């Protein structure tokens, strides 16, 4: 098992703000296997609790490495499975991983799918409130694919709502087809939540979501999930470019007036 990271971009600056950890299975014969093929199996066999624990540790250790390297990412996002969410040690493991990596709690975002949120309301609310007390960010993943009750949604202490990519895909090149995405964005903003749009692949989708004031964009249009070292290199290059731009701005004369 290994992790790739997909950055989430601020569409107003086109700069990465955070990254989501996505697991892959490095199969000896088949190469990298997507989690779509094995997460549900891992859930059935119960292996998911251990996989989830390792993902959380690994992703936070990687975030610590990025901090040490001066990589400017505000947070790392980690997917939490239903079994992990209900595990009695889950809260403790979150606390431990934050302190082991001397990480500010708001630098960890936990992504919980809408279907988990709709499970046992009392228990879910209790766990979510305890996580929120720790100070971590909470996000509802794949929003729009479950059956959220609107009044229940209002009670959930989450920070971010991720518009499922099935709604993003409906946004056509002429800008039509985005009614559900726009409605979800408007509802989230009315509830004072941030929006991440997932699976953004085209300029038209980006433009449409920018017009809905989506705070963050994740998708192949900007960047595919990458191994940590590749993402590190990409951000280092971006930061170096920004430094040069800053230096150019503070030169007393226009660049053309300097010899060479």
Binding site for ligand C2E (CB under 6 A): 6, 22-23, 34-36, 39, 52, 55, 79, 81, 111, 141-142, 198-201, 218-220, 225
Select from ligand C2E, Mg ion, none the partner in contact with residue 6, using the beta carbon and a kind-dependent cut-off of 5 to 8 Å.
ligand C2E
Six token digits for residue 75:
């947070």
Report the nearest approach of ligand C2E to the CB of residue 118 (Å): 16
- 161 Cβ neighbours under 8 A, 6+ residues apart: 139, 140, 143, 184, 188, 193, 194, 195, 196
Select from Mg ion, ligand C2E, none the partner in contact with residue 39, using the beta carbon and a kind-dependent cut-off of 5 to 8 Å.
ligand C2E
Question: In the set 55, 141, 197, 215, which binds Mg ion (CB under 5 A)?
Answer: 141
d(Cα 207, Cα 184) in Å, to the nearest integer?
A: 16
CB-wise, 96 or 145, nearer to ligand C2E? Answer: 145
138 in Cβ contact with 157 (< 8 Å): yes
Select from ligand C2E, Mg ion, none the partner in contact with residue 95, using the beta carbon and a kind-dependent cut-off of 5 to 8 Å.
none
- 111 Cβ neighbours under 8 A, 6+ residues apart: 20, 77, 78, 79, 80, 139, 140, 141, 162
How many residues are present in the chain? 260
Select from Mg ion, ligand C2E, none the partner in contact with residue 199, using the beta carbon and a kind-dependent cut-off of 5 to 8 Å.
ligand C2E
d(Cα 240, Cα 244) in Å, to the nearest integer?
A: 6
Question: In the set 6, 62, 79, 218, which binds Mg ion (CB under 5 A)?
Answer: 79
Which chain residues interact with Mg ion by CB under 5 A?
79, 111, 141-142, 198
């Amino acid at each position: 098992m290994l992790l790739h990271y997909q950055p989430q971009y601020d569409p107003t600056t086109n700069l990465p703000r955070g990254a989501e950890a996505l697991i892959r299975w490095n199969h000896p014969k088949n190469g990298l296997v997507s989690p779509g093929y094995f997460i549900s199996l891992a859930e059935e066999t119960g292996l998911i609790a251990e996989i989830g624990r390792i993902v959380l540790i690994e992703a936070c250790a990687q975030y610590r490495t990025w901090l040490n390297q001066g990589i400017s990412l505000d947070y790392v996002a980690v997917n939490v499975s239903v079994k992990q969410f209900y595990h009695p040690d889950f809260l403790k493991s979150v606390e431990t991983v934050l302190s082991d990596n001397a990480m500010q709690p708001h630098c960890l975002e936990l992504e919980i799918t809408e279907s988990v949120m709709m499970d046992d309301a009392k228990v879910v609310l209790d766990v979510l409130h305890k996580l929120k007390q720790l100070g971590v960010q909470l996000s509802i993943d794949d929003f729009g694919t479950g059956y959220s009750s609107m009044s229940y949604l209002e009670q959930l202490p989450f920070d971010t709502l991720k518009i499922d990519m099935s709604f993003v895909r409906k946004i056509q090149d002429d800008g039509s087809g985005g009614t559900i995405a726009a409605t979800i964005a408007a509802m989230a903003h009315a509830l004072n939540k941030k929006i991440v749009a997932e699976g953004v692949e085209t300029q038209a989708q980006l433009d449409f979501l920018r017009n809905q004031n989506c705070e963050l964009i994740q998708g192949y249009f900007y960047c595919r999930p990458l191994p940590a070292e590749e993402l590190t290199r990409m951000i280092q290059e971006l930061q170096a470019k920004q430094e040069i731009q800053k230096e150019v701005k503070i030169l007393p004369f226009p660049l053309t007036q300097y010899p060479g």
